[in-house]
Amino acid sequence: MNRTRARLSDGREIVYYDEGPGRVPVPDPRGLRPVEPLCETRRDPLTGDHVTITAHRNTRTFLPPADQCPLCPGGPASEIPDPSYDVVAFENRFPSFDVRTPPVPPEIDGVPRARGAGRCEVVCFTDDHSASMAQLPLSRVRTIVDAWADRTAELSAIPGIRQVYVFENRGVEIGVTLHHPHGQIYAYPFVTPRTERMLAAAAAHPGLFEDVLKAEREGGRVVLAGEHWTAYVPAAARWPVEAHLMPHRHVPDFTALDAAERDELAVLYRDLLRRFDALYGAPLPYVAGWHQAPAGNDSLRLHLELFSIRRAPDKIKYLAGSESGMAAWINDVSPEDAAARLRAAG
């Protein structure tokens, strides 16, 4: 992997990850004004959760036509000035968190308030607008894994960053605003609520992730397995189609994976995505989220949570009153049946 850094015309960083050497970045010709983000967090006094307020994001690009895609290379609206690329990461023009956001008062009506001083990046997996992660060659998926590890290391080193989250949203049903195959990385200035709950569970149960993986490998919901990783449908799956991919070795994040683990991850991850797409014979809307340990606490094991909101070929699971209002999940599909169908889809 060959890394090349550059700057866009408004000062945002862009980093190219190429499978060959020789990249000479093309200057950004757009003459954009510097980004002026307004990101803040407020702490819900009833739950303790951080809520992020980012009014400037309401004007972000929304499903433009293909000839105006900002992730295709070299076009007049493109965020990537070069005529081609393999994998590229750049600072989001409409960030949820940004270290350049101005100071805010420490509270509002008694509610704690703070700058949303983090970082949000877009990661483009290919310059082919019509491709998908599942269709990419293994060499490209492996490059993406290395890029994720590199970005995790760099973002974790920013002062004030507590947690780095790598994820991909795919499909208009999920709420994507750009069709081009890409993912995102959020560097949070706080530990997210989901991670806090997992850390509390791990503190109460030493060896939790090892025990969960052992139980799943011995159970009937394994979808595929290798020497270093196992993919399974969790016994308490929230979503109608859900699979977790977990390494056999306890590692806190992408940076700790060795070469063999990264090689196998590229194979099994692409296989899992292809099974999702084969389930109903059409590309499945999904969220692929990588849980990584927050700064200073390695009791959480790196793992993927991959899920789709499609519960049948022509039906969507919407988050209704129980899930949205009470966070009390109701799954219409048996995890055992979902695992069997994903195995068969391979």
The mean per-residue pLDDT over the stretch 135-161 comes to 98
- Looking at the domain assignment, is residue 291 inside a domain? no
Q: Do residue 148 and residue 215 come from a single domain?
A: no
Q: Do residue 182 and residue 200 come from a single domain?
A: no
Q: For 271-295, how does the pLDDT look when each residue is reduced to its tens digit (9 = 90+)?
A: 999 999 999 999 999 999 999 999 9
- Looking at the domain assignment, is residue 16 inside a domain? yes
Residue span of the structural domain in which 336 resides = 195-284+300-345
Last residue of a domain, one of 190, 210, 225: 190
- Lowest pLDDT segment from 8-22, 53-67, 248-262, 292-306: 53-67
CATH of residue 309's domain is: 3.30.428.10
Q: Do residue 103 and residue 209 come from a single domain?
A: no
- Looking at the domain assignment, is residue 246 inside a domain? yes
Query: What is the separation, in whole angstroms, between the first and last Cα of the chain?
Result: 30
Q: For 332-343, how does the pLDDT look when each residue is reduced to its tens digit (9 = 90+)?
A: 999 999 999 999
Residue 111 CB contacts under 8 Å (≥ 6 apart), including other chains: 42, 43, 44, 45
**Amino acid 58: pLDDT:** 76
Q: Is 291 a catalytic residue?
A: no
**Amino acid 17: pLDDT:** 98
Q: Do residue 32 and residue 162 come from a single domain?
A: yes
- Looking at the domain assignment, is residue 293 inside a domain? no
Contact between 40 and 104 (Cβ < 8 Å): yes
Last residue of a domain, one of 190, 210, 228: 190
Which helix (H) or strand (E) segment holds residue 102: the answer is none
- Looking at the domain assignment, is residue 71 inside a domain? yes
Q: Do residue 132 and residue 256 come from a single domain?
A: no
* Candidates 50, 56, 180, 182; catalytic one: 182
Structural domains in the chain (count): 2
Q: Do residue 202 and residue 184 come from a single domain?
A: no
**Amino acid 75: pLDDT:** 77
Q: Do residue 217 and residue 317 come from a single domain?
A: yes
Q: How far apart are CA 158 and CA 49, in angstroms?
A: 22
Q: Structure pTM?
A: 0.97
- Looking at the domain assignment, is residue 292 inside a domain? no
Q: For 224-236, how does the pLDDT look when each residue is reduced to its tens digit (9 = 90+)?
A: 999 999 999 999 9
Q: Do residue 137 and residue 263 come from a single domain?
A: no
Q: Please say if the pLDDT value at position 59 is more than 80.
A: no
CA 122, 125, 130 angle in degrees (round to 5)? 110
Q: For 83-112, how does the pLDDT look when each residue is reduced to its tens digit (9 = 90+)?
A: 999 999 999 999 999 999 999 999 999 999
**Amino acid 67: pLDDT:** 87
Q: Do residue 314 and residue 273 come from a single domain?
A: yes
Q: For 29-39, how does the pLDDT look when each residue is reduced to its tens digit (9 = 90+)?
A: 999 999 889 99
Instruction: Say what percent of the chain tops pLDDT 70.
Output: 100
Last residue of a domain, one of 134, 155, 190: 190
- Looking at the domain assignment, is residue 289 inside a domain? no
